[in-house]
Structure 1
Amino acid sequence: MLNKLFALMVFAGVPLSIAGSVLHWPSILMFVIYCLTIIALASYMGRATESLAIVAGPRIGGLLNATFGNAVELIISIFALKAGLVEVVLASLTGSVLGNLLLVAGLSFFVGGLKYKRQEFNVYDARHNAGLLTFAILVAFVIPEVFSVTMSETKTLSLSVGISVIMITLYLAALYFKLVTHRGVYQHKSDEVEEHEEPEWSKGKSIAILALATAAVAYVSENLVHTFEAVAESFGWSELFIGVIIVAIVGNAAEHASAIIMAYKNKMNVAVEIAIGSTLQIAMFVAPVLVLVSLLFPVQMPLVFSLPELIAMATAVLLTIVLSNDGDTNWFEGATMLAAYIIMGIGFYLL
């Protein structure tokens, strides 16, 4: 039933998006149409990557899901950078970190915990991810903010570029570590629980749908960016709130749906890989890439977040590490993470 609804939204949303942009329909209406269309397209991306995950295994499957899910976020952010909306991009990166760690992981733990008393996942992966999260948020994001106080804008941008190159290099090294040199070294009993399942789509069909959906998202995202200013004025929302909450939720719709479905099926390794892996990819790859891409535009983006954004991300990381470092979760831990997300959401709305 839900798949039919998403199919209707895609086949109606894409033509409406094209018609609305050509005929210049009201910005509020188009904002809603664009968001619903992106969410529907993201559902197809999620189903395609889930089919690939069944073939490739939980780690690669989770990585594929996070990568194509973050492709939406990357596309929206590049068009926002082109439009000079640096604050919106930084806010959307913050929102992605908070959304993946607290909302996606929280909902996954909560929904899965309602069906199962306890759910286990690979504790070695959890500890590995904890170290990378600490580096990405508490080191690489905090250093530019601290040093920028006594630096010129040019030096701050140079520092941001240097950190970005280091983060991308370390992220690629982390993938090589997990998927090549130490693949299968840190096995956990939860890795053996995954039961055999037939993929919904073939490998070729999944790749084709991913390519088409990504192209459609690119077109819709470019138009979505142009509605931000009008929507902010109409609802009294700040650019910070639009970036942290709205853009982040829409841009990460694919991961949201896939991780929750995996948790409900008790495939926690995939669910955690999607939520945590997506966060690491946003922090260590997408954010640095955007810094480098911004060098091509009139307005550059240093890797300098506001104090509320930094504190919120650091708090989310610490809470996630504390709750997930034992490789065991339940519905109450999920509820705790959701509560933290709601508190932060209220704070950004009132800011």
Structure 2
Amino acid sequence: MGNLQETPSVAPLSAGGAIALEIRQAPVLTLIVFVPVVILLERISPGAHTLLFLMSVVAIIPLAALLSRATEAVAARTGDAVGGLLNATLGNLTELVIALAALQAGQYLLVKASIAGAIVTNTLFMLGGAFLFGGLKYHIQEFNRVNARFQACLLFLATIAVLVPSLISEVDQPPAVEVSQKLSLGLAVLLIVVYALGMLFSLRTHRELFVSVSHAEEDERLWPLTPSLIVLGVVTLLVALVSEIFVGSVQVAAEHLGMTPAFVGFIVVALVGAAAEMTTAFSAARADRLDLSVGVALGSAVQIALFVAPVLVLASYFIGPEPMTLQFWRGAVTMMVVATMAAALLTNGGHGTWYTGVMALALYAIFAFTLFVLPPANPL
């Protein structure tokens, strides 16, 4: 007894100390200085659109990293299903802010291209990247295929709702604009109701079906819950502010950089808007938490299709120059349908490998290259 030495205890870090340590250990967070710089530059030189566009993209990167880390901490305490929903919701605020700003300016092509691009980006690029990054570290990763099938079914329903207004515009005697607007309004309300009932089903009445199957150990460096929630709120506001600057400069900058509005909305806006969710999905896959990655990727796409798009239709009656419809150009509809079918096929087995990710990313690259070299001549 006398020879036993008492092991000195290490005092746990305070909430502020834990976050400060995280910032020091992540060099990418040093880019946070671009957030006040781009805000100040927008006040001083609002006409420098190309510079504002590039700097706003850089400023979103550290904000996405902070949002990812805080969301992981919350998800570890609420479960991957709720965590994925939380990350998808906060991440989609960026797309919603960008789309609302474009909607108010009457840039409906940019709005619709960003909606279609967000769905395709989340189901192919984000999901494929998660499979690739996770598969390079782990031979085979498992996830709850019931959740994946559920999300894929919701996404398929949403693409059908978008397909109907687009199809009726192609008939021999297309209906009047007022008919298309009424149809889109009714479908928007229906999609929001379906989305709300889907959340009730997955988070309340049948939540046992959506339990994570990942085997990752809890990260000891997770932030405390309260500071994580505070960071989520503050960073979300900053992302929204930087996104407004991004919207104000993206059109002119795109012309200077030789990009079309369809490519900007479908690819650039979608990738920038999903930066926070991608960071979470990729890092979760590397930590063998593929359930969270799949939940973020497909959950975000479902939320865009069933909630964000209908909300934009409703908002157009109040802030837009005229009501917006759910009528997309044929190329966008085709890409959304194909992406939905690909996501259903790739997640059907309940396990992921690196080559699964390669196939999803290859399909996304085909779409991106096609839009870049051959934009739609008459998209709407």
Letter of the 1:337 partner, please give it. A
Measure how far apart 1:180 and its partner are.
0.5
Structure 2 vs 1, CA of residues 27 and 59 (structure 1 numbering), >3 Å: closer, same or farther?
A: same
User: Does the 8 Å CA contact 1:52/1:199 hold for their aligned counterparts?
Assistant: no
Which sits farther off after the overlay, 252-261 or 230-239? Answer: 230-239
Letter of the 1:318 partner, please give it. M
SS across alignment from 2:363: helix
State which of 17, 22, 41 in structure 2 corresponds to 1:20.
41
Alignment of 1:134-145 (within 5 A): 134-137=156-159, 139-145=160-166
State which of 154, 158, 180 in structure 2 corresponds to 1:132.
154
1:146 aligned residue: 167
State which of 194, 210, 225 in structure 2 corresponds to 1:170.
194
- 1:243 matched to 2:265? The reply is yes
Give the Cα separation in 2 of the matches to 1:123 and 1:108: 15
State which of 44, 59, 62 in structure 1 corresponds to 2:81.
59
User: Does the 8 Å CA contact 1:87/1:240 hold for their aligned counterparts?
Assistant: yes
Give the Cα separation in 2 of the matches to 1:179 and 1:199: 27
Cα deviation, 1:203-262, whole Å, max 9, x if unaligned, reads 221121122112222222222112122112212211000001111000000111110111
Cα deviation, 1:283-329, whole Å, max 9, x if unaligned, reads 11111111111111223321111111111111111111111111122
Give the Cα separation in 1 of the matches to 2:34 and 2:339: 34
Structure 2 vs 1, CA of residues 2 and 86 (structure 1 numbering), >3 Å: closer, same or farther?
A: farther
1:196 aligned residue: 218
Measure how far apart 1:125 and its partner are.
1.3
Which sits farther off after the overlay, 257-266 or 196-205? Answer: 196-205
Alignment of 1:1-351 (within 5 A): 4-10=26-32, 12-24=33-45, 26-137=48-159, 139-149=160-170, 150-185=174-209, 191=213, 193-198=215-220, 200-297=222-319, 298-350=321-373, 351=375
Matched length: 347
Give the Cα separation in 1 of the matches to 2:260 and 2:366: 17
Give the Cα separation in 2 of the matches to 1:213 and 1:131: 32
Give the Cα separation in 2 of the matches to 1:292 and 1:43: 32
User: Does the 8 Å CA contact 1:46/1:69 hold for their aligned counterparts?
Assistant: no
Which is higher, the Rg of structure 1 or of structure 2?
Answer: 2
2:5 aligned residue: none
Measure how far apart 1:168 and its partner are.
0.6
TM-score, L = length of structure 2 = 0.87
Higher helix share: 1
Give the Cα separation in 1 of the matches to 2:305 and 2:177: 22
Letter of the 2:140 partner, please give it. R
User: Does the 8 Å CA contact 2:93/2:240 hold for their aligned counterparts?
Assistant: no
SS across alignment from 2:327: coil
User: Does the 8 Å CA contact 1:54/1:198 hold for their aligned counterparts?
Assistant: no
Which sits farther off after the overlay, 210-219 or 52-61? Answer: 210-219
Cα deviation, 1:40-80, whole Å, max 9, x if unaligned, reads 21221111111110110110011111111111111111111
SS across alignment from 1:227: helix
Structure 2 unpaired stretches of 5+: 1-22, 376-380
Structure 2 vs 1, CA of residues 218 and 186 (structure 1 numbering), >3 Å: closer, same or farther?
A: closer
Structure 2 vs 1, CA of residues 191 and 157 (structure 1 numbering), >3 Å: closer, same or farther?
A: same
SS across alignment from 1:299: coil
User: Does the 8 Å CA contact 2:60/2:272 hold for their aligned counterparts?
Assistant: yes
Structure 1 unpaired stretches of 5+: none
Give the Cα separation in 1 of the matches to 2:141 and 2:208: 21
Measure how far apart 1:195 and its partner are.
2.9
Structure 2 vs 1, CA of residues 3 and 312 (structure 1 numbering), >3 Å: closer, same or farther?
A: farther
Structure 2 vs 1, CA of residues 27 and 5 (structure 1 numbering), >3 Å: closer, same or farther?
A: farther
Cα deviation, 1:85-107, whole Å, max 9, x if unaligned, reads 11111111111111111111001
Measure how far apart 1:186 and its partner are.
5.7
Aligned-residue identity in percent: 37
Cα deviation, 1:156-192, whole Å, max 9, x if unaligned, reads 11111110111011011001001110111465xx626
Question: Cα RMSD (Å) of the superposition?
Answer: 1.7
Letter of the 1:144 partner, please give it. P
Structure 2 vs 1, CA of residues 239 and 194 (structure 1 numbering), >3 Å: closer, same or farther?
A: same
Structure 2 vs 1, CA of residues 5 and 296 (structure 1 numbering), >3 Å: closer, same or farther?
A: farther
